[in-house]
Amino acid sequence: MLKAVIVAFSLVATVASGGCDSARGRAMATDGAIGAGGGALLGAAAGFNPLVGAAVGGAGGAAVGAATH
């Protein structure tokens, strides 16, 4: 399961950061990808669904990236 989460995180990070041409877009994609990975890992470690953790962490990370840039 952890391998699937890592592969999914890698794919999301690659795709999300590939099409951004502004600093704000890059910050949203990067912070969203980091948040998704962290949320998936914490969700799996806490016994919850890692996909829900990834969705919540990704949304939170993207919001932080948009707000800080």
∠ Cα 15 30 18 (to 5°): 30
Q: Say what the pTM is.
A: 0.67
What confidence tens digit (pLDDT) does each residue in 10-69 have?
A: 666 666 555 566 888 888 888 888 888 888 888 888 888 888 888 888 888 888 888 887
Output the pLDDT for position 19. Answer: 59
- Torsion sign (Cα): 6, 12, 14, 20: negative
Q: Nearest to residue 36, comparing CAs of 21, 14, 19, 20?
A: 14
Output the pLDDT for position 12. Answer: 65
